[in-house]
Amino acid sequence: MTQPDATAVFDEISEMDSKALFKPKVVALVVSNSEDKGPNLMTASWYMLAGYNPFRYLLSVSHSDYTHEIIEESGEFVLAAPSSEMIDALVLSGMESGRDLDKIDHLDIETLPGTEIDVPILKNAVGNIECSVMDSFEFENCTYYFGKVEKAYITEDGLDGRLLSLDEDVLAYMGSDWAEGDTHTKSRFYAELDSEDLRRFPGDQVVEGLPEDRREEYEE
C-alpha cells in the first residue's frame, strides 16, 4: 500500500513556526554577574537538561549578548524559572541589552546572594539553579555552556512529590506574535496552568501491551 505524502497529513510550516511545536515552555531568566558592573538578566529559551552525574544544563548564548561576555569572564550563571508576575522581566530581558540598561534596577527585581556561586538568584522566581561552567564549545555565532548544578532552589511548597506544583505561578510560555491593535512590540502569550489541569497516566498500561519477554523486566 502506498503511504500518503506528508503534506496530505500535515500542514507544512516554516522553520520559524517550528518554534511553536515544543510549547508551552518555561523560558528561563539567566542571571550573570560582571565583576565590574554587577548582575545582568537575559531571557533564554535555548537551554536543556543535558545529563546526570554531574547534573548539568546546556545553555546556548549568542556571541553578541552581553551575557556571553560576562559568562566568559566569570564561568557562572543562574537559570531562574520566572513566575507569571515576571512577564515584564521576560519581555524586557529578551529585548534590551545589559550594555545599555541595568535591567535588574529598571525592573526593580529583588535578588538574594547565590550560595555556591557569586551570582544572585531571583527572589520572586519559582525556582533558581546555580550553575558553574564545566565545559563549553562554540558553534556558528553561539557558545554552548555546560553548567554544572551547584545548588537548586524552589519556592516553598513548590514541589508536589517530584513534580512542579501547578499551584505555583509558573510562566508557561507559548511564544510571541503580532496581535490586534497598533503596538510597537509583539504580544507575548502564556498559558494559565493550575493543579486541576494535571492528568495522571499510570505507565502500567504501556507495560501490559509489551511482548511477554519485555514485560517481565517491569513486573518484577
Ligand X SMILES: Cc1cc2nc3c(=O)[nH]c(=O)nc-3n(C[C@H](O)[C@H](O)[C@H](O)COP(=O)(O)O)c2cc1C
Q: Give backbone dihedrals phi and psi of 144, rounded to 5 degrees, phi first.
A: -105, 115
Q: Which of residues 34, 45, 74, 136 is near ligand X by CB under 6 A?
A: 45
Is residue 66 part of the contact set for ligand X (CB under 6 A)? yes
What 8-state DSSP symbol labels residue 164? E
* CA-to-CA separations, 191 to 20, 23, 203, in angstroms, rounded: 13, 10, 26
Q: How far is the CB of 166 from ligand X (least distance, A)?
A: 22
For residues 60 and 165, which CB has a smaller minimum distance to ligand X in the complex? 60
Q: Which lies closer to ligand X via its Cβ, residue 61 or residue 122? A: 61
Residue 88 beta carbon to ligand X: minimum distance, rounded to whole angstroms = 12
Sign of CA dihedral 37, 38, 44, 47: positive
Distance between terminal CA atoms of the chain? Answer: 41
Residue 65 found at the interface with ligand X (CB under 6 A): yes
Tell me: does residue 60 bind ligand X (CB under 6 A): yes
Considering the rule CB under 6 A, would residue 104 count as an interface residue with ligand X? no
Task: Mark the segment that binds ligand X (CB under 6 A) among 60-68, 118-126, 199-207, 209-217.
Answer: 60-68
The gap from C-alpha 121 to its chain's centroid, in whole angstroms, comes to 15
Gap between the Cα atoms of 155 and 193, Å rounded? 17
Residue 34 or residue 124: which is nearer to ligand X going by CB?
A: 34
Contact between 94 and ligand X per CB under 6 A: yes
Q: Which is nearer to ligand X, 89 or 193 (CB)?
A: 89
Instruction: Verify binding: residue 76, ligand X, rule CB under 6 A.
Output: no
Which of residues 13, 46, 208, 216 is near ligand X by CB under 6 A? 46
Residue 124 is a binding residue for ligand X (CB under 6 A): no
DSSP secondary structure string, 165-190? PTTS-B-EEEEEE--SS--SS-EEEE
Q: With binding defined as CB under 6 A, does residue 27 bind ligand X?
A: yes
208 three-class SS? helix
* Residue 92 beta carbon to ligand X: minimum distance, rounded to whole angstroms: 9
Tell me the C-alpha to C-alpha distance, in Å, between residue 204 and each of 86, 92, 208, 209.
39, 45, 6, 9
- Residues in contact with ligand X by CB under 6 A are 27, 40, 42-46, 60-62, 65-67, 93-99
